[in-house]
Amino acid sequence: MRIALDARTIYAPQRRGIGKSLLELYRHLALVRPDWSVTAYHRSPGEVEALLPEPFVQPRMIEMPGDRFNAWDRFRLPLACRRDGADVLHCPANHCPTWMPIPTVVTIHDLIPLQMPDERHPRLGPRFERSVRTACQKASAITCPSDYTRACLIQDMDADPARVFVTPWADFGKAPHVDLAWRINIFEKYRVEPPFVLHFGATEPRKNTRRVIEAWAGLRKQLKSQVKLLVVGLDAQAQQELAVCTARLGIESSVVLHGFADEVDVPALLRLAHVLAYPSLSEGFGLPILEAFAAGTAVLTSNRTSLPEVAADAALMVDPEDFCAITKGLTKLLTDLVYRRELIKRGLTQMKQFTWRQAAERFAQAVEFAEQSDQQDRPPTKGKRGKAA
């Protein structure tokens, strides 16, 4: 099997969640299907770091001078795949070309741009919907990370259930030991020392950052004096806006607002935190929950969308729109040591349900389905007299 991979998220200058997960998926695909080969198409000029196992994966840069109207996606990539003799194209980041000359597997992580439109970018929603509907109509197979997303695709996008495969993500391995030097560096860099609660914030409303801060204000004064809330992942504008919010609530001394956390710091932050506050309004999966489980950190999360699938009984789940419920949940996790230890124990067990090897096997089955279904759809080859050969 020869797979053509749209690998731009892997070779991006700042690799985010999709890129990191895709990297792990293909590393393990090399283990479960060692006789396959992959061409990883990207647009990063210069030397490419050997991120994926070679010779299983061969990176290839293709460019399109004067690229307009997403022509790289729509034409350049599928044309290169066909010319290179690929059997299946994998588009891993919620979009796909309208022209699919070879069997195509599309990964759709969530429908959040439709369920919670970004008011700052009103054109993104319709564009995203067109791409997802194209995938549901034309793709040979669709993969998604959760049963929740699969149900949304079937119900809201009329996807064929037989063509939608769930390939859950997994954590990125055992959290590293945080030695004294690393500890001191983290404390100085993020201006916080244990005990603290970690929250991955964002300007987008679905991350629920403002409500987490309002819930923090509801904690007992004595508790706020002993524990800090560290919010990472904020751009400059969000930091300014939330600084005004914390000042208005009178909690600026117990809340640390920080920019984007370096990728290498995240495991240490999770291990050092007492609690991960992750009451997101909507997620396609919820990888930070598994990362917290691996780090031995208790989790407070949301009781909706895909998050209960990932957390099961190993996290404290609350209504994410009820800041009083978030306050009570945080109070329990910070004051009830026995309960917190029990959740940590359950988390270490729950994370074992999700492995990259299992994800790679399920993804391989989706690829095989795509190739086989395409062969079945092809008309029989005819000989010179017009009969099936």
For every residue of 32-69, DSSP letters joined together read: H-TT-EEEEEE---S-----S-TTTEEEEE---TT--T
Q: How far is CA 110 from CA 8, 82, 93, 286, in A?
A: 19, 28, 10, 11
Q: State which fold the 180-352 domain adopts.
A: Rossmann fold (3.40.50)
pLDDT at 361: 98
pLDDT at 95: 87
pLDDT at 50: 60
E strand or H helix at 104:
strand 104-107
Angle 337-350/323-335 helices, nearest 10 degrees? 100
First to last CA, the chain: 24
Q: How far is CA 167 from CA 300, 354, 361, in A?
A: 24, 10, 9
d(CA 147, CA 140): 19
pLDDT at 49: 63
What stretches in the chain show pLDDT beneath 70?
13-14, 46-50, 66-68, 120-121, 173-175, 374-389
Predicted structure pTM score: 0.89
* H-only helix segments in 336-355: 337-350
Q: Based on DSSP, count helices (H) and strands (E) in the chain, helices before strands.
A: 16, 13
Q: Among residues 186, 180, 146, 185, which one has the least CA distance to residue 307?
A: 146
Is the fold of 2-170+356-375 the same as that of 180-352?
yes
Strands 104-107 and 298-302: what pairing?
unpaired
* Domain 2-170+356-375 -> CATH class: alpha beta
Q: Provide the sign of the torsion angle of the four alpha carbons 233, 238, 239, 241, taken in this order.
A: negative
Angle 287-295/337-350 helices, nearest 10 degrees? 110
Domain ranges of the chain: 2-170+356-375, 180-352
Q: Provide the sign of the torsion angle of the four alpha carbons 84, 87, 91, 96, taken in this order.
A: positive
The b-or-e profile of 186-203 (16+ CB within 10 A means b, else e) is beeebebeeebbbbbbbb
